[in-house]
Chains A and B, each alone.
Chain A
Amino acid sequence: MAKFRKNGKGGQQKLNTSSLPDIVFTLLFFFMVATSMKEVTLIVKIKSPEATEVTKLEQKSLVSYIYVGQPSNTRKFGTEPRIQLNDSYQTVDDIQNYILQERENMKESDRPKMTVSIKADAQVQMGTITDIKQALRKAQALKISYSARKAIKK
Protein backbone atom coordinates (compact mmCIF):
# COMPACT_ATOMS: atom_id res chain seq x y z
CA MET A 1 0.00 0.00 0.00
CA ALA A 2 2.71 2.41 0.95
CA LYS A 3 4.41 1.84 -2.31
CA PHE A 4 1.33 2.85 -4.19
CA ARG A 5 0.85 6.05 -2.27
CA LYS A 6 4.41 7.15 -2.93
CA ASN A 7 4.00 6.95 -6.63
CA GLY A 8 0.56 8.50 -6.63
CA LYS A 9 -0.01 11.89 -8.18
CA GLY A 10 -1.86 13.30 -5.18
CA GLY A 11 1.08 14.56 -3.04
CA GLN A 12 2.72 17.73 -4.25
CA GLN A 13 6.44 18.10 -3.87
CA LYS A 14 7.34 20.37 -0.98
CA LEU A 15 9.44 23.43 -1.72
CA ASN A 16 12.66 23.52 0.20
CA THR A 17 12.47 26.63 2.35
CA SER A 18 15.46 26.03 4.53
CA SER A 19 17.39 28.91 2.97
CA LEU A 20 14.57 31.37 3.44
CA PRO A 21 15.60 32.45 6.95
CA ASP A 22 19.10 33.14 5.69
CA ILE A 23 17.83 35.38 2.93
CA VAL A 24 15.51 37.24 5.24
CA PHE A 25 18.24 37.66 7.83
CA THR A 26 20.53 39.12 5.21
CA LEU A 27 17.85 41.64 4.27
CA LEU A 28 17.25 42.36 7.92
CA PHE A 29 20.89 43.08 8.62
CA PHE A 30 21.09 45.29 5.57
CA PHE A 31 18.22 47.40 6.80
CA MET A 32 19.53 47.51 10.33
CA VAL A 33 22.87 48.85 9.15
CA ALA A 34 21.73 51.13 6.35
CA THR A 35 18.96 52.96 8.11
CA SER A 36 18.46 55.03 11.17
CA MET A 37 15.51 55.41 13.45
CA LYS A 38 12.92 58.01 12.64
CA GLU A 39 13.69 61.01 14.81
CA VAL A 40 10.29 62.51 15.37
CA THR A 41 6.86 62.59 13.87
CA LEU A 42 6.58 65.72 11.82
CA ILE A 43 3.71 68.00 12.69
CA VAL A 44 4.73 70.62 10.17
CA LYS A 45 4.66 70.33 6.41
CA ILE A 46 8.13 70.48 4.93
CA LYS A 47 9.03 70.51 1.31
CA SER A 48 12.77 70.94 1.39
CA PRO A 49 14.35 73.48 -0.91
CA GLU A 50 16.72 72.25 -3.58
CA ALA A 51 20.42 72.87 -3.89
CA THR A 52 23.26 71.33 -5.85
CA GLU A 53 26.20 71.78 -3.50
CA VAL A 54 24.82 69.88 -0.54
CA THR A 55 27.02 67.84 1.74
CA LYS A 56 26.00 64.89 3.82
CA LEU A 57 25.61 65.34 7.52
CA GLU A 58 27.78 62.73 9.12
CA GLN A 59 27.17 61.28 12.55
CA LYS A 60 23.55 61.66 13.38
CA SER A 61 24.26 61.72 17.09
CA LEU A 62 25.81 65.16 16.73
CA VAL A 63 22.88 66.68 14.93
CA SER A 64 19.87 68.41 16.45
CA TYR A 65 16.95 69.36 14.30
CA ILE A 66 14.74 72.40 14.09
CA TYR A 67 11.72 72.03 11.85
CA VAL A 68 9.92 75.00 10.34
CA GLY A 69 6.85 74.94 8.19
CA GLN A 70 3.10 75.19 7.99
CA PRO A 71 1.29 73.11 10.60
CA SER A 72 0.02 69.83 9.21
CA ASN A 73 -3.35 70.52 10.73
CA THR A 74 -4.07 73.93 9.24
CA ARG A 75 -7.66 73.98 10.44
CA LYS A 76 -6.57 73.80 14.05
CA PHE A 77 -3.30 75.71 14.03
CA GLY A 78 -3.64 78.09 11.10
CA THR A 79 -1.33 78.52 8.15
CA GLU A 80 1.33 80.65 9.81
CA PRO A 81 4.70 78.80 9.76
CA ARG A 82 5.53 77.24 13.10
CA ILE A 83 8.67 75.89 14.70
CA GLN A 84 8.75 72.30 15.80
CA LEU A 85 11.25 71.13 18.39
CA ASN A 86 11.09 67.50 19.43
CA ASP A 87 7.41 66.65 19.20
CA SER A 88 5.61 69.92 19.77
CA TYR A 89 5.19 73.45 18.47
CA GLN A 90 7.50 75.90 20.15
CA THR A 91 8.46 79.52 19.76
CA VAL A 92 11.79 81.13 18.97
CA ASP A 93 12.34 81.80 22.67
CA ASP A 94 12.34 78.08 23.42
CA ILE A 95 15.23 77.38 21.07
CA GLN A 96 17.89 78.36 23.58
CA ASN A 97 16.54 75.93 26.14
CA TYR A 98 16.23 73.24 23.52
CA ILE A 99 19.84 73.66 22.46
CA LEU A 100 20.99 73.57 26.08
CA GLN A 101 19.06 70.38 26.63
CA GLU A 102 20.41 68.77 23.49
CA ARG A 103 23.89 69.73 24.55
CA GLU A 104 23.36 68.20 27.98
CA ASN A 105 22.41 64.92 26.38
CA MET A 106 25.62 64.75 24.40
CA LYS A 107 28.92 63.37 25.43
CA GLU A 108 31.23 66.03 26.75
CA SER A 109 33.76 65.45 23.99
CA ASP A 110 31.12 65.77 21.29
CA ARG A 111 29.65 69.05 22.44
CA PRO A 112 31.87 71.36 20.36
CA LYS A 113 30.99 69.37 17.27
CA MET A 114 27.29 69.82 17.71
CA THR A 115 25.47 70.77 14.53
CA VAL A 116 21.98 72.18 14.22
CA SER A 117 20.13 71.27 11.09
CA ILE A 118 17.42 73.72 10.10
CA LYS A 119 14.80 71.84 8.16
CA ALA A 120 12.53 74.46 6.75
CA ASP A 121 9.92 74.53 4.06
CA ALA A 122 10.97 76.21 0.81
CA GLN A 123 8.11 78.70 1.09
CA VAL A 124 8.93 79.90 4.59
CA GLN A 125 9.83 83.56 4.85
CA MET A 126 13.35 84.40 5.88
CA GLY A 127 12.15 86.36 8.91
CA THR A 128 11.49 83.18 10.82
CA ILE A 129 14.80 81.68 9.79
CA THR A 130 16.63 84.84 10.78
CA ASP A 131 15.03 84.76 14.23
CA ILE A 132 16.12 81.16 14.60
CA LYS A 133 19.64 82.03 13.54
CA GLN A 134 19.81 84.84 16.08
CA ALA A 135 18.54 82.49 18.79
CA LEU A 136 21.17 79.92 17.82
CA ARG A 137 23.87 82.53 18.01
CA LYS A 138 22.71 83.44 21.49
CA ALA A 139 22.78 79.76 22.43
CA GLN A 140 26.32 79.45 21.09
CA ALA A 141 25.29 76.80 18.60
CA LEU A 142 27.17 78.18 15.65
CA LYS A 143 27.52 75.16 13.42
CA ILE A 144 24.39 74.96 11.37
CA SER A 145 23.22 73.28 8.24
CA TYR A 146 20.47 74.44 5.94
CA SER A 147 18.77 71.22 5.05
CA ALA A 148 18.20 70.85 1.33
CA ARG A 149 17.51 68.16 -1.19
CA LYS A 150 20.11 67.34 -3.76
CA ALA A 151 19.08 68.73 -7.11
CA ILE A 152 20.42 67.37 -10.35
CA LYS A 153 23.28 69.47 -11.68
CA LYS A 154 22.42 71.31 -14.82
Chain B
Amino acid sequence: MSKKEVPEANASSCADIAFTLLIFFLVATTMSTDTGLSRLLPPIVPETEETPPPVKERNVFQVSINYKNDLLVEGEWMTDIRQLRGRAKEFIANPADADNLPEKQETEVPFFGTYRVSKGVISLQNDRGSEYQAYLTVQNELQAAYNELRDELAKEKFKKPFEDCSSEEQDAIKKIYPQRISEAEPKNYKK
Protein backbone atom coordinates (compact mmCIF):
# COMPACT_ATOMS: atom_id res chain seq x y z
CA MET B 1 0.00 0.00 0.00
CA SER B 2 1.42 3.29 -0.96
CA LYS B 3 1.25 6.20 1.41
CA LYS B 4 -0.64 9.10 0.00
CA GLU B 5 1.10 12.33 0.80
CA VAL B 6 -0.96 15.38 1.52
CA PRO B 7 -0.05 17.97 -1.05
CA GLU B 8 1.76 20.82 0.71
CA ALA B 9 0.78 24.35 0.07
CA ASN B 10 3.45 26.33 -1.63
CA ALA B 11 4.78 28.64 1.05
CA SER B 12 7.56 30.28 -0.89
CA SER B 13 5.64 33.53 -1.29
CA CYS B 14 4.97 33.71 2.42
CA ALA B 15 8.38 35.16 3.05
CA ASP B 16 7.81 37.83 0.42
CA ILE B 17 4.52 38.86 1.95
CA ALA B 18 6.03 39.01 5.40
CA PHE B 19 8.97 41.03 4.11
CA THR B 20 6.67 43.54 2.50
CA LEU B 21 4.78 43.97 5.76
CA LEU B 22 8.01 44.23 7.69
CA ILE B 23 9.36 46.94 5.44
CA PHE B 24 6.09 48.84 5.67
CA PHE B 25 6.30 48.86 9.46
CA LEU B 26 9.96 49.81 9.40
CA VAL B 27 9.20 52.85 7.28
CA ALA B 28 5.93 53.94 8.84
CA THR B 29 6.85 53.77 12.50
CA THR B 30 9.14 55.51 14.88
CA MET B 31 11.08 53.76 17.54
CA SER B 32 11.72 56.60 19.92
CA THR B 33 9.34 57.14 22.78
CA ASP B 34 8.82 60.72 23.75
CA THR B 35 10.66 61.81 26.86
CA GLY B 36 10.44 65.07 28.69
CA LEU B 37 10.05 67.00 31.90
CA SER B 38 6.49 66.86 33.17
CA ARG B 39 5.01 69.96 34.71
CA LEU B 40 1.64 71.08 35.94
CA LEU B 41 0.62 74.57 34.90
CA PRO B 42 -1.26 76.69 37.41
CA PRO B 43 -4.89 77.29 36.49
CA ILE B 44 -5.79 80.78 35.44
CA VAL B 45 -6.93 82.87 38.36
CA PRO B 46 -10.17 84.72 37.65
CA GLU B 47 -9.62 88.45 37.93
CA THR B 48 -12.57 88.94 40.24
CA GLU B 49 -10.98 86.77 42.87
CA GLU B 50 -8.90 88.34 45.56
CA THR B 51 -5.20 88.15 45.13
CA PRO B 52 -3.80 85.24 47.12
CA PRO B 53 -2.05 86.12 50.36
CA PRO B 54 1.60 86.91 49.76
CA VAL B 55 4.06 84.14 50.45
CA LYS B 56 6.72 84.91 53.01
CA GLU B 57 10.07 85.90 51.61
CA ARG B 58 11.90 83.07 53.34
CA ASN B 59 9.61 80.49 51.78
CA VAL B 60 10.43 81.50 48.22
CA PHE B 61 13.48 80.48 46.27
CA GLN B 62 13.68 83.01 43.49
CA VAL B 63 15.34 81.93 40.25
CA SER B 64 15.36 84.26 37.27
CA ILE B 65 16.79 83.94 33.80
CA ASN B 66 17.42 87.04 31.72
CA TYR B 67 17.59 87.47 27.97
CA LYS B 68 21.31 86.68 27.96
CA ASN B 69 20.56 83.39 29.71
CA ASP B 70 22.23 84.60 32.92
CA LEU B 71 20.97 83.14 36.11
CA LEU B 72 19.90 85.18 39.13
CA VAL B 73 19.36 83.07 42.24
CA GLU B 74 18.02 84.73 45.41
CA GLY B 75 19.44 88.07 44.31
CA GLU B 76 22.88 86.82 43.35
CA TRP B 77 24.30 86.12 39.93
CA MET B 78 25.17 82.50 39.47
CA THR B 79 27.80 81.81 36.86
CA ASP B 80 27.96 78.06 37.26
CA ILE B 81 24.68 76.27 36.83
CA ARG B 82 25.99 73.25 38.72
CA GLN B 83 25.75 75.21 41.96
CA LEU B 84 22.01 75.55 41.51
CA ARG B 85 21.21 71.96 42.40
CA GLY B 86 23.01 72.18 45.75
CA ARG B 87 21.39 75.50 46.58
CA ALA B 88 17.95 74.22 45.70
CA LYS B 89 18.43 71.09 47.78
CA GLU B 90 19.54 73.11 50.74
CA PHE B 91 16.51 75.35 50.33
CA ILE B 92 13.99 72.54 50.05
CA ALA B 93 15.29 70.41 52.88
CA ASN B 94 16.50 73.19 55.20
CA PRO B 95 18.39 70.66 57.34
CA ALA B 96 19.69 73.17 59.88
CA ASP B 97 16.35 74.99 60.35
CA ALA B 98 17.95 78.25 59.33
CA ASP B 99 15.99 81.46 59.73
CA ASN B 100 16.29 82.53 56.14
CA LEU B 101 15.20 79.17 54.74
CA PRO B 102 11.60 77.96 54.55
CA GLU B 103 9.37 77.29 57.48
CA LYS B 104 8.22 73.80 58.26
CA GLN B 105 4.79 72.55 59.07
CA GLU B 106 4.08 69.38 60.98
CA THR B 107 2.14 67.02 58.78
CA GLU B 108 0.90 63.51 59.20
CA VAL B 109 2.61 61.27 56.65
CA PRO B 110 2.13 57.50 56.33
CA PHE B 111 5.24 55.45 57.23
CA PHE B 112 6.89 58.50 58.74
CA GLY B 113 4.42 59.63 61.39
CA THR B 114 4.49 63.33 62.07
CA TYR B 115 7.02 64.92 59.80
CA ARG B 116 8.01 68.53 59.52
CA VAL B 117 7.37 69.33 55.89
CA SER B 118 8.96 72.39 54.38
CA LYS B 119 6.72 75.09 52.99
CA GLY B 120 9.25 76.18 50.41
CA VAL B 121 8.26 77.17 46.90
CA ILE B 122 10.66 77.56 44.03
CA SER B 123 9.71 80.42 41.79
CA LEU B 124 11.15 80.37 38.32
CA GLN B 125 10.91 83.47 36.22
CA ASN B 126 12.18 83.92 32.74
CA ASP B 127 12.55 86.68 30.23
CA ARG B 128 10.81 86.38 26.90
CA GLY B 129 14.19 86.54 25.23
CA SER B 130 15.89 83.71 27.08
CA GLU B 131 16.67 80.54 25.25
CA TYR B 132 14.58 77.40 25.62
CA GLN B 133 17.63 75.26 26.29
CA ALA B 134 18.73 77.53 29.15
CA TYR B 135 15.25 77.47 30.63
CA LEU B 136 15.06 73.72 30.40
CA THR B 137 18.50 73.28 31.95
CA VAL B 138 17.33 75.23 34.97
CA GLN B 139 14.11 73.24 35.14
CA ASN B 140 16.20 70.11 34.90
CA GLU B 141 18.47 71.12 37.77
CA LEU B 142 15.49 71.92 39.99
CA GLN B 143 13.92 68.59 39.11
CA ALA B 144 17.23 66.92 39.89
CA ALA B 145 17.30 68.57 43.30
CA TYR B 146 13.89 67.14 44.14
CA ASN B 147 14.76 63.73 42.73
CA GLU B 148 17.98 63.52 44.70
CA LEU B 149 16.30 64.52 47.94
CA ARG B 150 13.56 61.97 47.42
CA ASP B 151 16.09 59.34 46.57
CA GLU B 152 18.15 60.07 49.67
CA LEU B 153 15.09 59.86 51.87
CA ALA B 154 13.99 56.61 50.27
CA LYS B 155 17.40 55.07 50.83
CA GLU B 156 17.43 56.21 54.43
CA LYS B 157 13.93 55.03 55.25
CA PHE B 158 13.22 52.10 52.96
CA LYS B 159 16.80 51.09 52.13
CA LYS B 160 16.18 51.22 48.41
CA PRO B 161 16.16 53.85 45.67
CA PHE B 162 13.02 55.91 45.12
CA GLU B 163 12.27 54.18 41.83
CA ASP B 164 12.02 50.77 43.48
CA CYS B 165 9.64 51.88 46.20
CA SER B 166 6.00 50.87 46.09
CA SER B 167 3.54 53.54 45.03
CA GLU B 168 2.39 54.08 48.63
CA GLU B 169 5.96 54.65 49.75
CA GLN B 170 6.55 56.96 46.82
CA ASP B 171 3.44 58.93 47.67
CA ALA B 172 4.62 59.31 51.26
CA ILE B 173 7.96 60.63 50.12
CA LYS B 174 6.30 62.92 47.64
CA LYS B 175 4.25 64.30 50.50
CA ILE B 176 7.40 65.15 52.39
CA TYR B 177 9.10 66.67 49.37
CA PRO B 178 6.24 67.97 47.25
CA GLN B 179 7.43 69.35 43.96
CA ARG B 180 6.55 73.00 44.09
CA ILE B 181 8.05 74.79 41.15
CA SER B 182 6.00 77.81 40.36
CA GLU B 183 6.34 79.32 36.94
CA ALA B 184 5.58 82.93 37.46
CA GLU B 185 3.91 85.12 34.92
CA PRO B 186 6.45 86.17 32.34
CA LYS B 187 8.20 89.49 32.56
CA ASN B 188 9.71 91.44 29.80
CA TYR B 189 12.90 93.03 31.01
CA LYS B 190 14.11 94.15 27.64
CA LYS B 191 12.30 94.51 24.37
Contact of A49 among B33, B39, B136 (CB under 8 A): B136
User: In the bound complex, do residue A137 and residue B43 qualify as a contact, i.e. CB atoms below 8 Å apart?
Assistant: yes
Whether A126 touches B34, Cβ cut-off 8 Å, given contacts A32-B25, A133-B183, A137-B42, is no
Q: Which residue of A lies closest to B17 (CB)?
A: A21
Dominant SS at the A interface? mixed
Q: Which residues of B contact A35 (CB under 8 A)?
A: 25, 29-31
Docked pose: A130 CA to B129 CA in angstroms: 10
User: In the bound complex, do residue A147 and residue B43 qualify as a contact, i.e. CB atoms below 8 Å apart?
Assistant: no
User: In the bound complex, do residue B39 and residue A146 qualify as a contact, i.e. CB atoms below 8 Å apart?
Assistant: yes
User: In the bound complex, do residue B43 and residue A142 qualify as a contact, i.e. CB atoms below 8 Å apart?
Assistant: yes
Interface residues in A95-116 by Cβ distance below 8 A to B read 115
Interface Cβ pair total, 8 Å cutoff? 153
Interface residues in A38-69 by Cβ distance below 8 A to B read 38, 49-57, 60, 63
Q: Name the segment of B106-114, B140-148, B168-176 touching the other chain.
A: B140-148
User: In the bound complex, do residue B128 and residue A21 qualify as a contact, i.e. CB atoms below 8 Å apart?
Assistant: no
Whether A51 touches B137, Cβ cut-off 8 Å, given contacts A122-B131, A126-B132, A130-B126, is yes
Contact of A148 among B35, B65, B127 (CB under 8 A): B35
For the complex formed, measure the closest distance between the CB of A96 and the CB atoms of chain B, giving whole angstroms. Answer: 12
Whether A49 touches B132, Cβ cut-off 8 Å, given contacts A126-B126, A137-B41, is yes
Q: Which residue of A lies closest to B27 (CB)?
A: A38
B-side interface residues, number (CB < 8 Å): 45
Q: Which residues of A contact B143 (CB under 8 A)?
A: 51, 53
Q: Which residues of B contact A11 (CB under 8 A)?
A: none
Q: A12 on the interface (CB 8 Å rule)? A: no
Q: A117 on the interface (CB 8 Å rule)? A: yes
Q: B11 on the interface (CB 8 Å rule)? A: yes
Q: Which residue of B lies closest to A133 (CB)?
A: B41
Q: B135 on the interface (CB 8 Å rule)? A: yes
User: In the bound complex, do residue B128 and residue A145 qualify as a contact, i.e. CB atoms below 8 Å apart?
Assistant: no
Q: A124 on the interface (CB 8 Å rule)? A: yes
Docked pose: A28 CA to B137 CA in angstroms: 39
User: In the bound complex, do residue A55 and residue B41 qualify as a contact, i.e. CB atoms below 8 Å apart?
Assistant: no
User: In the bound complex, do residue B44 and residue A145 qualify as a contact, i.e. CB atoms below 8 Å apart?
Assistant: no
For the complex formed, measure the closest distance between the CB of B139 and the CB atoms of chain A, giving whole angstroms. Answer: 7
User: In the bound complex, do residue A20 and residue B15 qualify as a contact, i.e. CB atoms below 8 Å apart?
Assistant: yes
Contact of B44 among A31, A34, A51, A138 (CB under 8 A): A138
Whether A144 touches B39, Cβ cut-off 8 Å, given contacts A37-B29, A53-B140, A130-B128, is yes
Could you jot down 19 A-B contacts, CB within 8 Å? A24-B22, A27-B22, A31-B22, A31-B29, A37-B29, A51-B140, A53-B144, A63-B34, A122-B133, A123-B133, A127-B186, A129-B132, A130-B126, A133-B41, A137-B41, A137-B42, A146-B39, A146-B136, A148-B140
A residues within 8 Å of B by Cβ? Answer: 17-18, 20-21, 24-25, 27-28, 31-32, 34-38, 49-57, 60, 63, 115, 117-127, 129-130, 133, 136-138, 140-150
B residues within 8 Å of A by Cβ? Answer: 11-12, 14-15, 18-19, 21-22, 25-26, 28-31, 33-44, 65, 126-133, 135-137, 139-140, 143-144, 147, 183, 186
